[in-house]
Amino acid sequence: MPEELLEQLTEQVLQGAKYREIAPELVRRIGAQELDKRRSLKEAVKATKNKLHQVGGAYQQTKLNYEKSLDLLRETAVSQPTQLRTTCHQLMQAHASTRERLSILDEFYETIFAELPPVHTVLDLACGLNPLAYPWLPLPGDVEFTAVDIYGDMLNFIQDFFELAGVNGRTQQRDIIGNPPTEPYDLILLLKTLPCLEQVDKHAAVNLLDAVNGSYLVISYPAQSLGGRSKGMVENYTEQFMGLVNGRNWQLHRFEFATELAFLVKTTA
């Protein structure tokens, strides 16, 4: 496929208001696949946008106004610091996947962290708005928290949140399919992300698990679809996950919450 065509496709997709904040490397990856499959540039642009919607935009149907949200966070931090959880809870509603966890948030992190030794470095991969759940995480004040996703504007907002809330955090815009992080972390969160990555590349989950370097991983799956139906998802995802574990020397804990199936993995002996 000519490089110029891929350049044109990437430029056209990134001009769209819904796509301009997405990591260009992911637009190129999907664009190259679609140019291979489609008959024209126009069709490939449309198909690339559809795929990007499936893996990202679909979760942000009501996009946060980041300016206003920051103002709200600032007001809370100054006048009612004890209300930080309430404000974060409210803002997390804006990401469909993060929102699904709100009804189980206390239970989710308490249950999982009860099985963990103290952690000092955390990597939240394909984070969505989950970093706003930081006030629920039983972590030491100096923990280093790294949040990764594909949306530049959302990550800027999360970085501002870290600064306001006094979190030792940083953000990275990155396509974790083509460029998975390999640095060591005590804990890596991969919440409801593997099925999403597999929509772009069926080997993405295996490749990512081969690449990342965490002493502990939390890998989770939705227990219901975006539309709210469950359709045997827990059984299917348990089976999928066990397929990924096969051949790895991992110790596992399985947790079934009302809206999420989660596995805590100890990767080191």
Ligand X SMILES: C[S@@+](CC[C@H](N)C(=O)[O-])C[C@H]1O[C@@H](n2cnc3c(N)ncnc32)[C@H](O)[C@@H]1O
List of residues contacting ligand X (CB under 6 A): 26, 55-56, 59, 97-98, 126-128, 130, 149-151, 175-177, 191-193, 196-197
The residue (of 39 and 202) whose beta carbon lies closer to ligand X is 202
Q: How far is the CB of 171 from ligand X (least distance, A)?
A: 12
Written as six digits, the tokens of 233 are: 């998802």
Residue 132 CA to residue 124 CA, distance in Å, equals 11
Strand order in the sheet with 260-266: 169-173, 144-149, 121-125, 184-190, 213-222, 260-266, 251-256
Beta-carbon contacts of residue 189 (< 8 Å; ≥ 6 apart): 122, 123, 124, 125, 127, 130, 217, 218
For residues 169 and 159, is the Cβ–Cβ distance under 8 A? yes
Q: Which is nearer to ligand X, 42 or 131 (CB)?
A: 131
Q: Closest CB to ligand X among 59 and 157? A: 59
* Nearer residue to ligand X within complex by CB, 80 or 213: 213
* Closest distance of CB 39 from ligand X, Å: 26
Nearest position to ligand X, beta carbon: 128
- Least distance from ligand X to the Cβ atom of residue 177, Å: 4
Encoding tokens for residue 18? 């819904």
CA distance 220 to 253: 11
Closest CB 243 distance from ligand X, rounded Å: 20
Query: Rounded to 10 degrees, what is the CA torsion of 212, 121, 138, 90?
Result: -70
Q: How far is the CB of 98 from ligand X (least distance, A)?
A: 4
Q: Would you say 151 or 165 has its CB closer to ligand X?
A: 151
Q: CB 59 → ligand X: shortest distance, Å?
A: 5
Residue-by-residue DSSP string for 251-264: EEEEEE-SSEEEEE
**Residue with smaller CB distance to ligand X, 35 or 222:** 222
- Residue 114 vs residues 135, 201, 264: alpha-carbon distances, Å: 16, 34, 11
- The smaller minimum CB distance to ligand X, of residues 44 and 95, is found at 95
Rounded to a whole number of angstroms, the minimum distance from the CB of residue 249 to ligand X is 26
